[in-house]
Amino acid sequence: MGGESSTNLSLESPKTILLAWLSALPAMYVFVVNFLGGEYVLRIIGEGLGIPFAPIQPQSWIFDQWVLSLEYLVLAALFGMVIWVAYRKEGLKIFAVSLLFLGAIGTTYMIDALYPFGYFTPFQAVVPTTASLAAGVLGWLGYQTSFTGYYMGAPILAAYDSSGTLLIQYAVGWPCAGVQSLLIYTFVVLIFLKKTAAPLSHKAAYFIFGAFVTYLVNILRVVSIYLTYINTLSQGRQAALEAARVFHDFYGGLYSMAWIVAYPLIIVGSRSLWHRITDSQTRIRLRERSIQRENMSSSAPGN
């Protein structure tokens, strides 16, 4: 019945007009920010608020992060409003993953803009372990490593060639260590598992295993940044720095995103395969019992 009412909704009804305006607002916001000087206004607002909230000199990329994080949060809020007006509470349940995904990315970007590098200590707490494991992998690949200090609260991991010559050193902050990926993983997988028909113990095992692999993927991402620089160093230091920056900013995030998207599919596929195996074994046992009963019946006295 709800489908009929939504189909017959008048184009002149207040709900339709409100939906039209709300649906246009995301595009209007992006257009104003990127083409009508809105980004400059947001930067001034950020400076007025004292961003960043850390003892460092404000830098251009911090305000870029501030503007981008606001965009994610505004789009998430507008998306939520459209869904609420169109579908109410049921729509929010259906699109919960998308909303939380936008909100989680916007929130982590915002934290990074307000407390850049290693100044947000709750997230930075996992970094030393991540950096140490990344150093171990680089050592296993034949590179020498050492921690040379801290840069704005982030540990500096240096890599050397076999002769001890310094190749590159980076400060490892919590965004690089995969905290953002773990947060997104938590939102997405918890919502997925909530709708999965499985025992609670199975859900807990799925979540813990997936979180462990997500953490390993982020270690691989840190290692890949170093390897990207080292493998392009023959083209010059500037080219190597640019290649590592591009990987860090664009391609590195695909590691964890690909895993987070693939993992629910792996769970569905593995559960389907397990059910097929157990169903097949059940059918085999039932058939064996049926044969046994037939044999007992045929060998009974009087037959």
DSSP the chain: -HHHHHHT--TTSHHHHHHHHHHHHHHHHHHHHHHSSHHHHHHHHHHHTTSS-SSS---HHHHHHHHHHHHHHHHHHHHHHHHHHHHHHHHHHHTHHHHHHHHHHHHHHHHHHHSTTTT-HHHHTTHHHHHHHHHHHHHHTT-EEEEEEEETTEEEEEEE-TT--EEEEEE--TTTTTHHHHHHHHHHHHHHHHTS-S-HHHHHHHHHHHHHHHHHHHHHHHHHHHHHHHHTGGG-HHHHHHHHHHIIIIIHHHHHHHHHHHHHHHHHHHHHHHHHHHHHHHHHHHHHHHHHHHHHHHTSTT-
- Identify the pLDDT of residue 4: 42
Identify whether the C-beta of residue 119 lies closer than 8 Å to the C-beta of residue 202: no
Task: Report pLDDT digits (tens) over 224-272.
Answer: 999 999 999 999 999 999 999 999 888 888 898 899 999 999 999 888 8
Mean pLDDT of 279-303: 65
Q: Which residues contact 128 (CB under 8 A, 6 or more apart)?
A: 155
pTM over 0.85? The answer is no
Please indicate whether residue 225 or residue 7 has the higher confidence score (pLDDT): 225
- Identify the pLDDT of residue 3: 44
Please indicate whether residue 225 or residue 197 has the higher confidence score (pLDDT): 225
Please indicate whether residue 282 or residue 131 has the higher confidence score (pLDDT): 131
Alpha carbons 131 and 153: distance in angstroms, whole number: 13
Task: Report pLDDT digits (tens) over 91-136.
Answer: 887 787 778 778 878 888 888 888 888 888 888 888 999 999 999 9
CA distances from 252 to 130, 132, 180 (A): 15, 19, 12
Please indicate whether residue 153 or residue 224 has the higher confidence score (pLDDT): 224
Number of alpha carbons in the 13 Å side-chain half-sphere of residue 75: 22
Task: Report pLDDT digits (tens) over 48-81.
Answer: 888 888 777 767 778 888 898 999 899 989 988 9
Identify whether the C-beta of residue 62 lies closer than 8 Å to the C-beta of residue 113: yes
